[in-house]
Amino acid sequence: MFLQTAEQPTSIISLVLPFLLVFGIYYVIVILPTRRSQKKVQDMIENLKVGDKVITTGGIYGTIAGLKADRIQLRIAENVKVDVSRNAVTAFQNPDQEQTSS
């Protein structure tokens, strides 16, 4: 009466393999570069020293005038110093980049 097709058993490997492949590609493209970038920034933050010229997350350019355990004192102009979190530092200023005042 009814035509029935014989179903072949599918193995677990053939079901899981595409998900593992997608996760592997995602890991290589997204997770690894993010980890490397975070490690680079963390190493930079740990190795800050007085006199370094840095840029903060808020876009403030300044020179490190003092260091404490969890924050730094940043000189942004003559006789103007602000305390910011160490984690607010995102990069060093380029040596060839000149600060301009308006």
pTM above 0.85, yes or no: no
Burial of residue 54 (number of CB atoms within 10 Å: 0-12, 13-18, 19+): buried
The contacts of residue 93 (CB under 8 Å, 6+ apart) are 53, 54, 55, 61, 99
Q: Which residues of the chain have pLDDT under 70?
A: 1-9, 96-102
Q: What integer pLDDT is reported at residue 101 of this predicted model?
A: 43
